[in-house]
Chain A
Amino acid sequence: MNIETRKEGEIVFVKPLSKNIDASVCTDFKGRVVDLINQGNNFLLLNLSLVDFIDSSGLGAIISILKTLKLSNGKIVICDMKNPVLNLFKLTRLDHVFEICSNEKEGLALLTKVNKE
């Protein structure tokens, strides 16, 4: 699975380039992001602007990333979700678990604020 990453200060931008995060790619996706965390990157901005479809396996991967970050007092913000994907988060009540922003700019501002606290 192709993922675009870049770092600005303490914040790592993670942008999956695949249209699907499903059972066929979720293990690879989770592993790559957890590797980033294990390298000391504790503040992630997950940009889902190119993702059209997430299934329960993909949600499980994102939850696993959140749990890994919690162990290192990290933080993840998700931005740029398409409406059907956002609706999936609402169906599963994960919109009450994750910080969700409409775009990268808002997500970056939120993470920067958290990082300074």
Chain B
Amino acid sequence: MSMHTRSIKLIIESNIDHIPLLSKAVRSVCSTVIQDEVLLYNLELCLVEAVTNVIEHAYHQKLGNLVEVIVTFDENDIVFHVIDLGDKGVIPIPKKELDYNPKDVSSLPESGMGLFLIHRIMDEVHLSKKGKKNVLLMKKYVNQTGN
């Protein structure tokens, strides 16, 4: 771990309506080292997709549970740990492309794009179990210029 590593922990209740509070806070943290608007958006998007997955699939949209996010960053990368105590972790399945025909509207997906986006945007994605905790790690390599 670099000498310049910094970290922040944020916790929300398992309520979909609370996700923007979390994501805007994390975006603000990321903006201290990243200037690129598209990259900031994409990082926020991955966090939103991961936390939405936790609330919908690990907690089955039941209120009263907690979702913990730890953001760690240094000059080389940004890491999100998304931690929950839900039934089981949502296993991220790598997808290279969304499977549909752009000319066939009926083939367009209305769901299931979140995990694709996480894998498409992030450089590393791992899911692990630590005791009762499901821990999703998402890492994005960045450089000192914030690109």
A-to-B contact residues, CB < 8 Å: 20, 22-24, 53, 55-57, 59-61, 63-64, 66-67, 70, 83-85, 87-88, 91-93, 96-97
Contact = CB atoms under 8 A, between A and B. Distances in A.
Interface in B39-93: 40-42, 44-45, 48-49, 52, 56
Given A22-B48, A63-B108, A87-B42, 12 more contacts: A22-B20, A53-B48, A56-B49, A57-B111, A64-B110, A67-B105, A67-B106, A92-B98, A93-B97, A96-B102, A97-B102, A97-B105
Categorize the interface residue count of chain B.
20 to 34
B45 A55 contact: yes
B108 A66 contact: yes
B113 A92 contact: yes
Contacts of B16: 23-24
Contacts, number: 78
Contact of A23 (B19, B44, B113, B120): B19
B146 interface: no
A22 B19 contact: yes
Contacts of B49: 55-56
B45 A88 contact: yes
Given A23-B16, A24-B17, A92-B98, A56 B37 contact: no
Given A24-B19, A91-B121, A56 B113 contact: yes
The B interface, classified by DSSP as helix, strand, loop or mixed, is helix
B48 A55 contact: yes
B110 A83 contact: no
Given A22-B19, A60-B113, A88-B41, A66 B48 contact: no
A43 B71 CA distance: 44
Interface string B92-133: 000001101010011011111110110011000000000000
Nearest to A66: B105
Contacts of B106: 67
Contacts of B48: 22-23, 53, 55
A22 B117 CA distance: 14
Contact of A93 (B38, B52, B102): B102
Given A24-B19, A93-B97, A53 B41 contact: yes
